[in-house]
Every structure is written in C-alpha cells, then in structure tokens.
Structure 1
Amino acid sequence: MDYKILRPRQNPRLQNYDYKTANHYFVTVCTHHKQCVFGAAGKPNVVGQMAAQGIKDISRHFPGVGVDEYVIMPNHVHMILVFPQEQCNLSAVVGSYKSYVSKMFHVEHPGVTLWQRSFYDHIIRNENAYCEIKRYIQENPLKWNLDEYNPNV
C-alpha cells in the first residue's frame, strides 16, 4: 500500500503583520478544485451573481470595511478590500464572505463544496501598486484566455 506523504500546510498570511491594520488588501478567492461555476469571464451566471451579492454585502456585515473594486471570474473572485480602521481582521471578513455565499449556494446544491480552502492576499502598499491591481481586476475578464486559473491554458 502506497501512502502519500503530506507536507505541513504553510500559512499563506504574512508573518508578524497585523491584518487589522488600516490598509487596502487585494484578495483572491478560488472555487474548490478551481471548477468554473461562476459563469463566463465578466458575465456571472446565477452562482456568480451570488458571489457578487456576497461582495456587495461585505460592508453591511462589517461596517467600515469597503470593497473598492471586484470581478467575478469563472472560478475565482478578485477584490480590493479597504480597512479604514482597526476593527476586524482580513481572515474574518473573507471567511464570513465565503460562508455567506456558501449558504446561498447550498440551497440549490446541498453538500457541494464551493470554495477552495483559505485565500490569497496582497497588502497594497502604495498608490502605484493600487493602480496596477485595480487595472488588473478591471482587465481580468478580457484576459481570461491567458489567466493562470483558466483550466484550458
């Protein structure tokens, strides 16, 4: 019998950084096994619309936290989250978002895993980085054929 040796999962968060710090964060959340369930690039289906609604409701669940820009892609979501003050942390906001969308999704698809574990984040440190990331999000649907998350690439 062959046994797979699993390496310990590494924490994707930046060590010694307080994710409650007022800042802009670029976040990417992927679907389970990067399955394309959200519709076409930039044209979300019903499930993609659930993902978009979850993003629009972030500030309702976390007053003060804003969403500056976002895009729903076939198998992932990009967003810029704005934390103007230290009131909650990034993991709590993204975890709540994923849970909220999962609850809507499970009404029609009970027991189906929607999200990949964890998420990717990048701390936006200056205006140039912010502009570059915002442009990336806006242009992402046009570049789906080149996207690293596209299963056909």
Structure 2
Amino acid sequence: MDYKILRPRQNPRLQNYDYKTANHYFVTVCTHHKQCMFGAAGEPNGIGQMAAQGITAIPEHFPEVTVDEYVVMPNHVHVILIFPQGVKDLSAVVGSYKAYVSKMFHMEHPGVPLWQRSFYDHVIRDEAAYLEIKRYIRENPLKWNLDEYNPHA
C-alpha cells in the first residue's frame, strides 16, 4: 500500500511580526481548490456577491478595521485592510470574514467546501507599495486571462 507523505504545513504568516501592529495589509483568500465559484472576473454571481457582502461587512464586525479596496475574482478575493494599533489580529478578522460568507453560502449549498485553508497576506510597508497594490486590485479583472489563479491561463 502506498502512503502519501505529507510535508509539514508551512505557516504563511510573516515570522516575528506582530499582526496587531497598526498597518495596511493586502490579503488574498482563495476558494477551495481554487475552483471558480464567484462568477466572471469583475462580474460576480450570487456567490461572488456573498463574498463581496462579507468584505463590506467587516467594519460592522470590527468597527476599527477599514476596508480600503477590494475585488472579487472568479476563485479568490483581494482586499486591503487598514488596522489601527492594538486591534484583533489579522487572522481573527479574515477568519471571521470566511465564517460569515460560509454561513450564507452553506444555507444554499450545505456541505460544499467554499474556502481554501488559511490565506495569503502582505504587510504594506510604504506608500509606493500601497499605490501599486491598489492599482493591481483595480486592474485585476482586466488581467484575468494572465492571472496566476486562473486555471485556464
């Protein structure tokens, strides 16, 4: 019998960084197995609208966190979150977002996995990086054919 050897899962978070530090964070959350579930690039379907609604609801659950820019793509979302000092950490906010959207999704699709485990983040360190990421988010739907998450690219 062949057994698949699993490598230890790497922690995608930046080592030795305090995620309760005031900062701007660029976050990407992918669907389960990067399946295209959210509609067309720039044109979210009902599930994609749930994903967008979850993003716009983040400040309702975490009033101190600001959603600066976001986009819902066919199999992932990008968002810039702005945190003041001492707020719940980034993982708590993203985990709450995923749970909120999953709850709505599972009302119509019980038992169907929606999200990939974990998420990707990038600490935005300066104004130039912030402006570049903001531009990337805005232009992402136009570049879906070249997107690394596009299964047909």
- Tell me the TM-score normalized by structure 1: 0.99
Segments of 4+ moved more than 6 angstroms: none
**Cα distance, 1:86 vs. partner?**
1.3
Distance in 1 separating the partners of 2:5 and 2:66: 41
2:29 aligned with 1:29: yes
Per-residue CA deviations over 1:82-110 (Å, capped at 9, x if unaligned) read: 00221210000000000000000000000
- The number of residues matched between the two structures is 153
In structure 2, what is the equivalent of residue 120 of structure 1? 120
- Which amino acid counterpart does residue 33 of structure 1 have in structure 2? H
Secondary structure of the 1:37 match is: coil
Per-residue CA deviations over 1:30-73 (Å, capped at 9, x if unaligned) read: 00000000000011000000000000000000011010000000
| Long gaps (5+) in structure 1 | none
Per-residue CA deviations over 1:96-126 (Å, capped at 9, x if unaligned) read: 0000000000000000000000000000000
Distance in 2 separating the partners of 1:44 and 1:66: 22
Identical counterparts, % of pairs: 82
- Tell me the TM-score normalized by structure 2: 0.99
In structure 1, what is the equivalent of residue 88 of structure 2? 88
| Long gaps (5+) in structure 2 | none
- Which amino acid counterpart does residue 36 of structure 1 have in structure 2? C
Distance in 2 separating the partners of 1:150 and 1:17: 31
Per-residue CA deviations over 1:9-37 (Å, capped at 9, x if unaligned) read: 01000111000100000000000000000
In structure 1, what is the equivalent of residue 148 of structure 2? 148
Secondary structure of the 2:98 match is: helix
2:70 aligned with 1:70: yes
| Superposed CA RMSD | 0.4
**Cα distance, 1:4 vs. partner?**
0.6
Secondary structure of the 1:136 match is: helix
